[in-house]
Amino acid sequence: MTPPQPRKKGRKSDKNKKQVPPKDLNLSVSLQLYMYPTPAEAKKPVKDRTAAKTQIWKFDFADPLSTFEAQLLVPAERDINSDDDPVNQNIIALRGQWPCETKSCLSKNCWINPETAAHFPLHFKRLERWSMAMLDGPKRAMIDSPPNDPLFTTNNEDNSLASHVLQQRQVRRNSTANGSNISINITPKVAALLRPAPLPSQFPTPITTATATLSLLLLSPDHMPGPHMTMADFCTRYGLDESVSLKLIQLGYANMNSLQYTQVSDLKECGLLPGNIAQLHAAVLEWSLVHAG
């Protein structure tokens, strides 16, 4: 009689196999830009590089707002050369001294011109130039006053204001694309400008010299000046074209206090087109207030 053979163990069914739930994957992707002291060092393979690198830019995909900010970074402490430590300490102090509280501005740090209220975004180049000047003493620069440098002079102020206007318009376009409803109210004065001019009368009424002079002013004589605004804020709020905004700033109109006394003939002589003057006139009418009574 043949002894019974031991029963072979078969593979367990996959149905009885314990199911392990997949683990959640948290991926964090970022781009970093580094600067090496010499081009030759940067061309070496990564494993052969010996010089200290400096991180100058970082973009984190987990933070969409960094797409618009593109903040230039202060080098990490481990990457700072001991000779550059005073400069970077000044940069840290400047960032703490000059935070930008304007919601429409995309820069976290700005120097505000006390005379014109213009925004100078403090990117790394400006911060470095300012901090190095502070090392020369208070006669050159202090934490509350930048150096006399082309990066901070009036010649570059127009570009800074133009950049600020463009940034604010980009924010407005983004809010419109996200479904924001914008209502446009056309005042009777603006509607009158859009109507065709009436045909000249056969017997025109004479105009006195005083009335003719007042009619040439950009601000209508039956209106009062509106709220105090810088030229950059005025152009952004009332949607003036870029060319009009830049031209007014170049002509020295820092705020609305000076623009309200401007005559239309002066704007024509400065090169503004008739359509631009009409656009500016309509914006001034919206900004101004009608005399009571």
3-state secondary structure 161-181: HHHHHHHHHHHHHHHHHCCCC
Enter the tokens of residue 70.
């593109």
Q: Which residue has the higher pLDDT, 209 or 123?
A: 123
- Over residues 104-115, the pLDDT tens digits come to 777 788 888 777
pLDDT band, residue 66 (cuts 50/70/90): very low
Element of type H or E holding 40: helix 39-43
- Over residues 231-274, the pLDDT tens digits come to 778 888 888 877 777 888 787 777 777 777 777 787 787 777 88
- Determine phi and psi for 193, rounding to 5 degrees: -70, -30
pLDDT band, residue 134 (cuts 50/70/90): very high
- Of all residues in the chain, what percent carry a pLDDT higher than 70? 49
Predicted confidence at residue 238, as pLDDT, reads 81
**Is the separation of the CB atoms in 36 and 42 below 8 Å?**
yes
What gap in Å lies between CA 19 and CA 41, rounded to an integer?
Answer: 52
Which range, of 177-186, 188-197, 213-222, averages the lowest pLDDT? 177-186
Predicted confidence at residue 154, as pLDDT, reads 52
Asked whether residue 11 carries a pLDDT value surpassing 70, the answer given is: no
What gap in Å lies between CA 69 and CA 71, rounded to an integer?
Answer: 5
pLDDT band, residue 202 (cuts 50/70/90): low
Asked whether residue 221 carries a pLDDT value surpassing 70, the answer given is: yes
Q: What is the mean pLDDT of the chain?
A: 68
First-to-last alpha carbon distance for the chain, in angstroms, is 128
Closest Cα partner for 251 from 237, 262, 241, 240?
262
Instruction: Give the chain's domains with CATH numbers.
Output: 31-79 (no CATH), 81-154 (no CATH), 211-290 (1.10.150)
SS3 string of 111-128?
EECCCCCCEEECCHHHHH
Asked whether residue 119 carries a pLDDT value surpassing 70, the answer given is: yes
Query: What is the largest distance, in Å, between two alpha-carbon atoms of the chain?
Result: 141
pLDDT band, residue 280 (cuts 50/70/90): confident
Query: What would the mean pLDDT of 139-168 be, rounded to a whole number?
Result: 66
